[in-house]
């Protein structure tokens, strides 16, 4: 019995040394130094959000956010560890230090600014309401009596909740795939989502006859940084500014969105 | 590290209460329908004709060997393509009923198969019909024997209903997730939801332990234990 137990205890001790010590030293120094020390950065990226982040036929993550993550890691001179997240859990990944940065089509709003910090904007984005052509949706009031699908916790959820009349039946789903599935299968009549998701959905399901109805919000994407992590945030801002002036960000936007970045807030 | 702030979550108590109420409602309906379905399938598997036996066995194996969330998604996202469109709540109730029915069938079958032969022979010698034998002699003590297992299964189905929020059924987990997507207090919201589930499970166990002997199988069935 004791012969079997000893290797087990040794293993436990090894895990303790390997796991606990670096973690405790990481808290003592800034996140940027910790990233440099371990020569890798954990970046949260979407995998359900083409063309920003999705899984290709080769099962590898790709998209604008994924390229941006690689660009930031390359400029920091460290390896990149991509962490797949959903709209609903990406802030929690940052808060619990499971990711150093969130590059996941993250929009900026006051609620989020209370719990995390944001870099300068790195790519354009907007959210809107989409519905089949025959349906008349000219103002938020027209949503009364209709079922509207939206991804819980996303920017469009907050905007929709703000502008929708009391009579609108808002159905919130876990991620974009479920929201799109609900619209495509007819479980909801109207969908509120990001332009990229809607574009992808309409391209694959022309039989729906869906079209743009209402603009919810113009919201460029920012990189999320843990609250108070100023050293890392300023470094990321430097990288974004350099990539904007060198035209790299425009090239990424042309590659994935078919348009240059345009005006982006600092 | 952010400090814990339960007030931010508890401020939304009307939402949590509404969610808990729907969780209880879904569970109550699914429990009644699921146990009835389970009894019917258990009878089919023990007393039915070969075709009924095979159908009941296929249903039980299909449900018990696939994940609940897949069954739920199939009913909600899959059936519309066959022309059957159900609300989130109706789809949740059907999925929970089918799920509980399959497990309940096996639980009740165990109780039926433990019936002493002498009891069956005594019932038949009184010239009771097969139907009367099953309903009056076999079923009540069988349910009494397996009731603790049945109550546990109902609690498992109640806890499993947490994934019904994935198809926008507005139950407890749906609101807990909604609250954490609003204020990012994920630990606190999960903690409060867990406490509410614990309370619901305790209430459900007590209620079923009270209902069973009084309404379903009589106190005699569990006497002497």
Q: Nearest CA to CA, how far is A55 from chain B (Å)?
A: 21
pLDDT one-digit tens code per residue, B55-91: 999 999 999 999 999 999 999 999 988 888 899 999 9
Q: Which chain B residues are closer than 8 Å to A93 by Cβ?
A: none
Extract the residue ranges of chain A whose pLDDT is less than 70: 1-29
Tell if the CB–CB gap between B80 and A185 is shorter than 8 Å.
yes
| Whether residue B211 has pLDDT greater than 50 | yes
Instruction: Report pLDDT for A20.
Output: 45
- Tokens 């020390």 belong to A37
Instruction: Report pLDDT for B224.
Output: 43
Looking at chain B, the whole-number percentage of residues with pLDDT higher than 90 is: 79
**Nearest CA-CA partner of B79 in A202, A180, A187, A146:** A187
Rounded to 5 degrees, what angle do the CA atoms B165, B169, B171 make? Answer: 70
Instruction: Report pLDDT for B23.
Output: 97
Token pair for residue B214? 């009084």
SS3 state of residue B18: helix
| Whether residue B183 has pLDDT greater than 70 | yes
Instruction: Report pLDDT for B3.
Output: 76
Backbone dihedral angles phi then psi of residue A228, each to the nearest 5 degrees = 80, 5
Any CB–CB contact under 8 A between B84 and chain A? no
- C-alpha A232/C-alpha B152 separation (Å) is 51
Residue of A nearest to B82 (CA): A185
Instruction: Report pLDDT for A8.
Output: 53
pLDDT one-digit tens code per residue, B126-179: 999 999 999 999 999 999 999 999 999 999 999 999 999 999 999 999 999 999
Backbone dihedral angles phi then psi of residue B6, each to the nearest 5 degrees = -75, -25
What is the set of domains in chain B, with CATH numbers?
6-223 (1.10.3720.10)
Backbone dihedral angles phi then psi of residue A226, each to the nearest 5 degrees = -60, 145
- C-alpha B167/C-alpha B104 separation (Å) is 25
Per-residue buried b or exposed e for A214-232, using 16+ beta carbons within 10 Å of the residue's own CB: bebbebbbbbbbbbebeeb
Instruction: Report pLDDT for A10.
Output: 55
Any CB–CB contact under 8 A between B167 and chain A? yes
**Nearest CA-CA partner of B196 in B170, B165, B166, B159:** B159
pLDDT one-digit tens code per residue, A117-170: 999 999 988 888 999 999 999 999 999 999 999 999 888 999 999 999 999 999
A182: Cα separation from own chain's centroid: 21
- C-alpha A138/C-alpha A213 separation (Å) is 7
- C-alpha A34/C-alpha A20 separation (Å) is 14
Tell if the CB–CB gap between B184 and A178 is shorter than 8 Å.
no
The pLDDT mean for chain B works out to 92
Instruction: Report pLDDT for A21.
Output: 45
- C-alpha A265/C-alpha A246 separation (Å) is 17
Q: Nearest CA to CA, how far is B1 from chain A (Å)?
A: 7
Asked if the peptide bond before residue A51 counts as cis, ω within 30 degrees of 0, the response is: yes
């Amino acid at each position: 019995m004791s012969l079997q137990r000893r290797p087990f205890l040794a293993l436990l001790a090894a895990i303790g040394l390997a796991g606990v010590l670096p973690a405790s030293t990481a808290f003592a120094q800034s996140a940027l130094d910790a990233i440099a020390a371990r020569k890798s950065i954990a970046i949260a990226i979407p995998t359900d959000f083409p063309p920003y982040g999705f899984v290709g036929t080769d099962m590898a993550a790709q998209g604008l956010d994924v390229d941006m993550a690689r660009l930031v890691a390359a400029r920091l001179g460290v390896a990149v560890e991509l962490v797949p997240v959903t709209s609903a859990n990406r802030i929690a990944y940052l808060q619990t230090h499971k990711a150093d940065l969130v590059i996941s089509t993250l929009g900026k709003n006051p609620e989020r600014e209370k719990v995390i910090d944001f870099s300068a904007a790195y790519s354009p984005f907007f959210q809107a309401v989409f519905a089949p052509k025959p349906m008349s949706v000219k103002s938020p009031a027209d949503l009364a009596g209709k079922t509207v699908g939206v991804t819980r916790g996303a920017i469009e959820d907050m905007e929709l909740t703000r502008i929708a009349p009391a009579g609108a039946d808002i159905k919130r789903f876990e991620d974009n795939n479920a929201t799109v599935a609900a619209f495509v299968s007819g479980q909801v009549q109207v969908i509120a989502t990001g332009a990229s998701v809607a574009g992808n959905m309409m391209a694959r399901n022309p039989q729906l006859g869906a079209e743009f109805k209402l603009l919810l919000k113009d919201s460029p994407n920012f990189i999320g940084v843990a609250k108070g992590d100023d050293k890392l945030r300023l470094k990321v801002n430097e990288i974004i500014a350099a990539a904007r002036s060198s035209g790299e960000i425009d090239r990424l936007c042309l590659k994935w969105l078919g348009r240059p970045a345009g005006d982006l807030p600092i | 590290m952010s400090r814990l702030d339960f007030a931010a979550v508890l401020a939304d108590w009307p939402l949590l209460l509404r969610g808990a109420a729907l969780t209880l409602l879904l569970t109550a309906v699914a429990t009644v329908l699921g146990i009835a379905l389970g009894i019917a399938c258990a009878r089919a598997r023990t007393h039915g004709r070969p075709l009924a036996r095979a159908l009941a066995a296929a249903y039980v194996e299909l449900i018990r060997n696939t994940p609940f969330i897949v069954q739920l998604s199939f009913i909600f996202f899959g059936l519309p393509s066959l022309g059957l469109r159900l609300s989130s709540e109706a789809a949740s109730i059907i999925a929970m009923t089918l799920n509980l029915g399959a497990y309940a069938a096996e639980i009740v079958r165990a109780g039926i198969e433990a019936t002493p032969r002498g009891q069956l022979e005594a019932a038949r010698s009184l010239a009771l019909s097969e139907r009367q034998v099953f309903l009056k002699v076999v079923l009540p003590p069988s349910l009494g024997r397996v009731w603790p297992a049945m109550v546990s299964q109902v609690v498992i189905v109640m806890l499993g209903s947490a994934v019904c929020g994935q198809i926008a059924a507005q139950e407890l987990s749906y609101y807990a997730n909604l609250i954490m997507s609003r204020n990012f207090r994920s630990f606190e919201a999960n903690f409060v939801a867990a406490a509410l589930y614990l309370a619901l499970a305790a209430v459900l166990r007590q209620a079923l332990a009270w209902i069973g002997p009084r309404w379903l199988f009589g106190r005699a069935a569990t006497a002497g234990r």
